[in-house]
Structure 1
Amino acid sequence: MAAKQILLITGGNTGLGYEAVKALYASATPYEILLGSRKISNGEQAIEKLKEEVKESASSVSVVQADVSSDESLEKLVNGIESKYGKLDVLINNAGASFDGALQSGQMSIREAYNASWDTNVSGTQVLTTLAMPLLFKSSQPRLLFVTSGTSSLIQTDLSDGIFARLNAAPDAGWPKQGQFNPVTSYRSTKTGLNMLMREWVKILRNDPVKVFAVSPGFLATGLGGMGAEQMKKVSRRLRWVQIGAQDPAIGGKFIRDVVEGKRDQYEGQIVRSDFFDDPVQPY
C-alpha cells in the first residue's frame, strides 16, 4: 500500500473546505488529512458528518486547531505536524472570511473590517505558509495551494452581466452614495492581494520542487458573502452561452482535489479556475 500523503487544509470544517476534504477522503489516493478548524469541536462535528457521507476511504482524517488570525495557533499547529509526521506533502490555504456585512451593518468600522479581512485572508495565510515551508521541503512531491476567488480579477471588474452586475454596478451620481459600500469590496480586495502572494511564492520557489497554484473554484453557494446559499443559487451568471446560478460547493471541492492530484499541473504557478473548462487559466 502506498504511503499516505500528509495534507493540511485550513477552514476544512465548513463550506468549500469541507467539500474539498470530502472529495479527498473519497479519493482512491490515500491521504492523512489534517482538517484545520478554528474550533476543535466544529472540526469533530465535520468529521462525524464526513464519515456518514463517505462510508469507505483509503484515507485517514483528524482535526487540528488552526486559527489563521493567531500566530500562536499556527506555530503550535506546525510544531505538532513536525513532531508527528516529520513532513507535509500538501498545504491548502483555504481559510477565508468576509467582514463586509459587518461593515455595512455598522458593527465594524472601515479600518476594522479591512484589517480583519486582510489578517484572515492574506496575513494569516502568509504566516502559515512560511512556517510550513520547511515541512514541505521534506516532501518528495510538495504542493502549495491558495484558494482565491473569481471576484478578485481586475479584468472582470469591467464585466456587468450576471453576478457581475451586482458586483460591478456603478451607483448614481452624488455623495453620499446609496449603499455606499460594495457587498464584497474588502473580501475581493484581499483575494486580489492573495493572488500576488501566490505569484511571489512562485518566484521564491522557482528553483525548488514545490508546485504552487491558486485555485478559483467558481461561483459556489457557500453563503460566504452573507447572501445565503439558497439565495446564491438563484443569482444568474453568464457562463459562455448559458445562465446559471451559484453551483454546489462539491464541484469546487472536486476541482481542488484535481489540482492536488496533478490533473492541472500544466497550469502550475497560475490562477486556475474550474468554470472555464476549455480555457481554465483565469484572466487577471
Structure 2
Amino acid sequence: MTIPTITLNTGVTMPALGYGVFQTPPDQTRAAVATALGVGYRHIDTAAAYGNERQVGEALATSGLAREEVFVETKVWISDYGYDRTLHAFDKSAGKLGLAHIDLLILHQALPGEFDRTLDAYRALETLLTDGKVRAIGVSNFMPGHLDRLLAATHLVPSINQVEVHPYFRQPDVLTADAEHGIVTQAWSPIGGITFYRNGSRGSTLEDPTIGRIAAEHGRTPAQVMLRWHLQQGRQAIPKSVTPSRIAENFDVFGFELTADELAAIDALDTGVRGGPDPEDITLETYGRDIPEA
C-alpha cells in the first residue's frame, strides 16, 4: 500500500507513520527493523543514544530496498553538542548506519542550563543541511520556551519537534507552538507505552474504557485507535514493538476514520502527567554519556 506522507518545511516528504527502536536491544534491532520493513514501514527512527544505529543500518542493507525508499531519522545526543562535536556526531551516526546521507537529523534534547551548546549543535545541523548531508533537521523534547530561544538565534526553523504525546499527555502548548512555526510534531510513546501510571490512579492507555469503546465501535484495537488519533490531527507517530504481530497491527491504521466527537473524547483524557524526563531537568552531569565512534 502507499503510505500517506507529510511534507516538511524543506519540501521533503516523510511517511506519516514511522517505526521506532527506542529501548530495543541491539541484538533484537536487526530482526525487528527487518520485520517492520517487510510489513511496509518506510520510516525508521533511531538515535545515537539508543546504541542500535549499527543494527538499523544492517537491516536496511539487507532489506533489498533502494536507499531512497526508506526515510531514516536519528538523533544527536547531548554529549556531542557543540559545533564541531555535532558535525562529528553526524559522521559517527552515518558510519554506523552505513549511509552517505541521513534524511532527518535532530537534537535529542535541549540543554536548558547550557543553551549555547544547544545553539552551536543546531548551527552544525544547519551546516549539514546546507552541505546536503542531511535532508531535514529538527529537535526533540523542546518546549515552547526552548523553541523561542532557538529561533531567535539561528536561521532555519526545525522541520520536526519529536515529543512525548499520547492520550494521557497531550502537551497542547507544545502542539500549538509547533503549529505556529510550521513545525511537524512527531509523537514518541504515541500509545503511552512508558507511561502506565505508577501511583495507581490511571492504568494503561491500552485499557482505557473510552479508547476501548471507540476501538470496539470500529472493530479495531486500542493501539490502532490511538495511532489513528495522531494521524488525523496531523502528527507523525513512531510506535515501537519487537513483536511481529504488534508491528503489523500498528501499521494497519489507514483503513478507518475517527469522528470529530471521538477525537475530542480522546483529547479529553489528558492528565497533564509526563511519563518521560522533564526537559527542564536535562543536564550533562545527569544524562551525559559517551557515544562510541563508528
TM-score (norm 2): 0.37
TM-score (norm 1): 0.38
